Amino acid sequence: MRPALVFLSVYVFLVFEVKSLTMKKTSHKLQAEENLETYSFQKFMKKFGRDYQEGTLEFIKREQMFKNNLKFVLGINKNAKTPWKAGINKFMDMSESEFQKMLGYKKSTKGFTSSFIQDANSSLLKEVKLPVDHDWRPKMARAAGFFSDQGACGSCWATAAAAALEGHLEIQYGTTKQLSVQFLVSCVPNPSKCGGEGGCKGATAEMALEYIAQHGIPSETTWPYTSLTGQDGECDPVKHKMKHAGVQSWKVLPENKGAPLLQALYQVGPVVVSVDASAWNLYANGVFSNCPRDAVINHAVVAVGFGKEKISGSPHKYYVLKNSWGSDWGEDGHMRLQRFDDDFEYCGTDSKPLEGTGCPGGPPEVRVCGMCGVLYDSTYPEGAHFADEVIKTWKPEQKPVTALSAFESAVKMEDSDRSTFRKGVQMFSDFVSTAFSEQAHKYLTEPQ
């Protein structure tokens, strides 16, 4: 019995340690950039691989953009009451028009018709009591590590839809695989010009999820991303048939309502939200609160959680958002965005809905609520599943165990008379083995 007891003691320590670390809120202390006051353009060029020739017009132009942005960063960070910090990143030498290419909704050149996103599904989740903090990333150990960099292509609508589906697959099956954003950019038609002209010129996450419901979606391995330079690419009919996953349908949440979004985030999984990201380029960390009330929706990201933290003596509620600008932006590719208790506490008018999720023929202006308009348009996939072709390749021992079956097994576990410990339902009861193992490894090996 001694070896078994030794193993048991190690296992109990592991569970206890992981539990304590998992329950501990991740620290997001606002760290100051080193020597920002003296940070030079030359140092920026070296760090981010720029090769401008000193003295050329291009060098002079880029250096001035850098200096203007550095001045902004210093101004934000000097205000001790600001709950977020700006920082040096790859956008420091970009013009506004160049940065706009990082946003996924593009203005349509056609006249108005009707709004695609108004076709919202009816039924809502039954409200349950919400915790103060909730974050899906611990149960999405693999999906949380997938980072997309859309480059100069306005493909946020596609990257957000794919990222949400990746997360839902892992929550339900305990495993996932990075899905092909290129498939969506190259193949999803946009005849109504909703959110733009299609491909790198913009569409909507709803259109992406509808296309996945009809055709499935290949893996990133099968069809890698090639639109970094802003080219849509051709829809390959052979790769189009190589589907890896799919959805049964998708749900749109009510406009400008916070409660349905929080309930969906807590009960279901990641949710695609549309925002005004015009002022996000230099965000480094903290709870972002710098959008005007009159937000212009122009970007799509994935909400993966919510929480509350005390910063500079004041409590700040927030949403946790996963962006598509690479893992080197913000808080490891994520942002925390200010959240209000009252839906109407921070509302304004989007006077350019065609630059967001609007379609030609829709209203010339719309009401948007929440910081950066985050409550205006929210959607998530339903019935996420792996393609039959993929499931057929799984060996019996490889077949993923769903979160539901893991929970049911935990409930059914009985204590034997000879057992030296008691089993019970706890926070890991719906963790499949892969999710628990990867979470344990992450928290026991990475600095906290």
| Domain match, 194 and 270 both | yes
Question: Which positions are annotated as active-site residues?
Answer: 156, 299, 323
3-state secondary structure the chain: CHHHHHHHHHHHHHHHHHHHHHHCCCCCCCCCCCCHHHCCHHHHHHHHCCCCCCCCHHHHHHHHHHHHHHHHHHHHHHCCCCCEEECCCCCCCCCHHHHHCCCCCCCCCCCCCCCHHHCCCCCCCCCCCCCCCEECHHHCCCHHHCCCECCCCCCHHHHHHHHHHHHHHHHHHCCCCCECHHHHHHHCCCCCCCCCCCHHHCCCHHHHHHHHHHHCECECCCCCCCCCCCCCCCCCHHHHCCCCEECCEEEECCCCCHHHHHHHHHHCCCEEEEECCCCCCCEEEEEECCCCCCCCCCEEEEEEEEEEEEECCEEEEEEEEECCECCCCCECCEEEEECCCCCCCCEEEECCHHHCCCCCCCCCCEEEECHHHCCCCEEEEECCEECHHHHCCCCCCCCCCCHHHHHHHHHHCCCCCCCCCCCCCCCCCCCCHHHHHHHHHHHHHCCC
In a domain, 393, yes or no: no
Contact 134, 266 (CB under 8 A): yes
Distance CA 167, CA 178 (A): 10
Please report the pLDDT score of residue 429 as a whole number: 54
Please report the pLDDT score of residue 416 as a whole number: 47
Token pair for 54? 């000193």
| Domain match, 407 and 349 both | no
| Domain match, 81 and 192 both | no
Please report the pLDDT score of residue 2 as a whole number: 38
Instruction: Identify the domain boundary among 386, 411, 430.
Output: 386
Please report the pLDDT score of residue 1 as a whole number: 40
Give me the mean pLDDT over the 306-327 stretch: 94
Residue 80: give the domain boundaries: 36-93
In a domain, 391, yes or no: no
Distance CA 288, CA 293 (A): 14
Give me the mean pLDDT over the 352-368 stretch: 79
- First-to-last C-alpha distance (Å) of the chain: 35
Please report the pLDDT score of residue 419 as a whole number: 53
Please report the pLDDT score of residue 35 as a whole number: 80
| Domain match, 381 and 342 both | yes
| Domain match, 248 and 314 both | yes
Percent of the chain exceeding pLDDT 90 equals 62
408 band by pLDDT with thresholds 50, 70 and 90: low
Give me the mean pLDDT over the 185-211 stretch: 91
Give me the mean pLDDT over the 307-318 stretch: 93
| Domain match, 192 and 339 both | yes
Which range among 39-53, 252-266, 400-414 shows the weakest confidence by mean pLDDT? 400-414
Give the total number of structural domains in the chain.
3
| Domain match, 350 and 417 both | no
Distance CA 26, CA 394 (A): 36
**How many Cα atoms are found within 13 Å in the side-chain-facing hemisphere of 19?**
10
Contact residues for 58 (Cβ-Cβ < 8 A; gap 6+): 52
pLDDT at 282 over 90: yes
| Domain match, 224 and 89 both | no
Match 């052979």 to its residue by tokens.
Answer: 238
Please report the pLDDT score of residue 187 as a whole number: 97
Kindly report, residue by residue over 91-101, the tens digit of the pLDDT.
999 998 888 87
Kindly report, residue by residue over 7-45, the tens digit of the pLDDT.
333 333 333 333 333 333 333 433 444 588 899 999 999
| Domain match, 46 and 131 both | no
In a domain, 425, yes or no: yes
| Domain match, 318 and 424 both | no
pLDDT at 321 over 60: yes
In a domain, 357, yes or no: yes
In a domain, 61, yes or no: yes
| Domain match, 160 and 72 both | no
Please report the pLDDT score of residue 329 as a whole number: 95
The residue among 40 and 442 whose pLDDT is bigger is 40
- Rounded to an integer, what is the distance from CA 390 to the centroid of its chain? 25
Token pair for 309? 């933290």
Please report the pLDDT score of residue 6 as a whole number: 35
Percent of the chain exceeding pLDDT 70 equals 75
In a domain, 396, yes or no: no
Give me the mean pLDDT over the 236-251 stretch: 96
Please report the pLDDT score of residue 111 as a whole number: 32
Tell me the average pLDDT of the chain. Answer: 82
Range among 102-111, 144-153, 350-359 rated most confident: 144-153
Measured from the Cβ of residue 125, the count of other Cβ atoms closer than 10 Å reads: 14
Distance CA 421, CA 58 (A): 69
In a domain, 348, yes or no: yes
Instruction: Identify the domain boundary among 93, 113, 136.
Output: 93
Please report the pLDDT score of residue 441 as a whole number: 46
Identify the CATH number of the domain in which residue 243 sits.
3.90.70.10
| Domain match, 171 and 244 both | yes
412 band by pLDDT with thresholds 50, 70 and 90: low
The residue among 348 and 148 whose pLDDT is bigger is 348
Give me the mean pLDDT over the 382-408 stretch: 75
Kindly report, residue by residue over 222-231, the tens digit of the pLDDT.
999 999 999 9
